[in-house]
Amino acid sequence: MRLTVEHGFDQVTVEAIAEAANISRRTFSNYFACKGDAVLYGERLYTRALVDALRERPADEGAWTALRACARDLYASWSPWPDRGWALRTRMARKHPSLLARQLTDHAVLARELEESLAGRARPGGPRPGLLVAVFLAGLRVGLDTWIDEEESRDLLEVVEEVLDEAEASFDR
């Protein structure tokens, strides 16, 4: 991602990524099918950690509570968090068409896995798992975007919690 942010996705080669990681081209190919997979690797680690954390939550915990606790724990573990400028450049680099297509696929897989992980959680009269997951993921995205765009210096977790509070309040009405 650093190389993509600095030089642009089209200018970064697999060889440059392998060299920056101090590995051979062949070793790179053992782990990644293409440079897009390498660029999105960090995001894939995050989504895997989120799904794993959700599966480890107590089974009797409500779906929304479990999702929020997972996000809170994950964000809290990211210390120190990158600055807004880096996050903004990263977001712009990910808008490359081939990365965007891979990201959309990854997000669909994440949503499906989160929905499956919510199966069986208590939700009498509550929204269906697909809706909860869609609102939750949108809340994470809006929280990150808000944090990046803000002038003031607030903690990312504080902003995400604020956005998720707004979403939760709409469920309570």
CATH number at 25 reads: 1.10.10
Residues 115 and 159 in one domain: yes
Mean pLDDT (whole number) for 91-102: 79
Rounded Cα distance between 38 and 1, Å, is: 8
Residues 113 and 161 in one domain: yes
Q: Which domain holds residue 15?
A: 1-34
Asked if the model's pLDDT at residue 144 lies above 70, the reply is yes
Residues 13 and 68 in one domain: no
Asked if the model's pLDDT at residue 80 lies above 70, the reply is no
Would you say 9 and 99 are in contact if contact means Cβ atoms under 8 Å apart?
yes
Give the total number of structural domains in the chain. Answer: 2
CATH number at 152 reads: 1.10.357.10
Give which of 156, 121, 126, 152 is closest to 139, Cα–Cα: 156
Q: With 0.75 as the threshold, say if the pTM is over it.
A: yes
Q: Report the pLDDT value the prediction gives residue 123, as an integer from 0 to 100.
A: 63
Rounded Cα distance between 2 and 17, Å, is: 10
Asked if the model's pLDDT at residue 106 lies above 70, the reply is yes
